[in-house]
Structure 1
Amino acid sequence: MNIKGIHHVSSLTANAEKNLDFYTGILGMRLVKKTVNQDNTAYYHLFYGDEDGNPGTELTFFEIPNMAKKHPGTNSISSISLRVKSDDALIFWQNRFEKLGVNYQPITKRFGHAILPFSDSEGHKMALISDQLNNGVPGGKVWTRWDIPEQYGIVGLGPVTLTVKYLEPTIQVLTDVMGFRKIGSFQVDDAPVREVHVLDSGAGGNGSQIHVEQRKDLPDERQGRGSVHHVAFRVENSEELKKAIEEIKNEGFKTSGFVDRYYFHSLYFSEPNGILYEIATDGPGFSLDEKQDRLGEQLSLPTFLEPKRSEIESKLKPLRTPLYRNGQKEELPY
Structure 2
Amino acid sequence: MKIERIHHVAYRCKDAKETVEFYTKMLNMDFVLAIAEDQVPSTHEPDPYMHLFLDAGGGNILAFFELPTKPEMGRDENTPPWVQHIAFQVKDRDALLEYRDHLEANGIEVLGVTDHTIFHSIYFFDPNGHRVELAAPDPEQEKALERLDAVKWDMLEEWSKTKRAPKHADWLHAKEFDTAE
- Whether 1:285 and 2:134 are equivalent positions in the alignment is no
Aligned to 1:215: 67
| CA spacing shift, 1:194–1:304, aligned 2, 3 Å | closer
| CA spacing shift, 1:276–1:218, aligned 2, 3 Å | same
Equivalent of residue 294 in structure 1, options 125, 134, 150: 150
- Whether 1:202 and 2:57 are equivalent positions in the alignment is yes
Q: Percent identity?
A: 21
- Whether 1:270 and 2:125 are equivalent positions in the alignment is yes
Aligned to 1:153: 2
Aligned to 2:90: 235
Equivalent of residue 99 in structure 2, options 225, 244, 255: 244
CA distance in 1, matches of 2:67, 2:101: 32
1:171 is displaced (CA, Å) by: 1.1
* Larger RCO (alpha carbons 8 Å, 6+ apart): 1
Could you list the runs of 4 or more consecutive aligned residues of structure 1 that deviate by over 6 angstroms after TM superposition?
Answer: none
CA distance in 2, matches of 1:303, 1:295: 12
Aligned to 2:33: 184
Letter matched to residue 273 of structure 1: N
Letter matched to residue 66 of structure 2: Q
Question: Which protein is richer in strand relative to its size?
Answer: 1
Q: Secondary structure at the match of 1:297?
A: helix
Deviations, residues 115-170 of structure 1 (Å, cap 9, x unaligned): xxxxxxxxxxxxxxxxxxxxxxxxxxxxxxxxxxxxx2234444111201222221
CA distance in 2, matches of 1:173, 1:155: 29
| CA spacing shift, 1:154–1:301, aligned 2, 3 Å | farther
CA distance in 2, matches of 1:158, 1:285: 26
2:50–2:67 contact (8 Å) kept in structure 1: no
CA distance in 1, matches of 2:34, 2:108: 28
Q: Secondary structure at the match of 2:51?
A: strand
Letter matched to residue 73 of structure 2: D
Q: Secondary structure at the match of 2:111?
A: coil
1:286–1:295 contact (8 Å) kept in structure 2: no
- Whether 1:193 and 2:48 are equivalent positions in the alignment is yes
- Whether 1:259 and 2:114 are equivalent positions in the alignment is yes
Equivalent of residue 162 in structure 1, options 11, 17, 20: 11
Deviations, residues 86-136 of structure 1 (Å, cap 9, x unaligned): xxxxxxxxxxxxxxxxxxxxxxxxxxxxxxxxxxxxxxxxxxxxxxxxxxx
TM-score (norm 2): 0.71
CA distance in 2, matches of 1:263, 1:218: 40
CA distance in 2, matches of 1:180, 1:280: 16
The unaligned stretches of length 5 or more in structure 2 are 155-167, 176-181
1:196 is displaced (CA, Å) by: 0.7
1:201 is displaced (CA, Å) by: 3.2
CA distance in 2, matches of 1:232, 1:293: 21
Q: Secondary structure at the match of 2:84?
A: strand
CA distance in 2, matches of 1:249, 1:268: 11
CA-atom RMSD, angstroms?
2.7
Question: Which protein is richer in helix relative to its size?
Answer: 2
1:186 is displaced (CA, Å) by: 3.2
1:199–1:209 contact (8 Å) kept in structure 2: yes
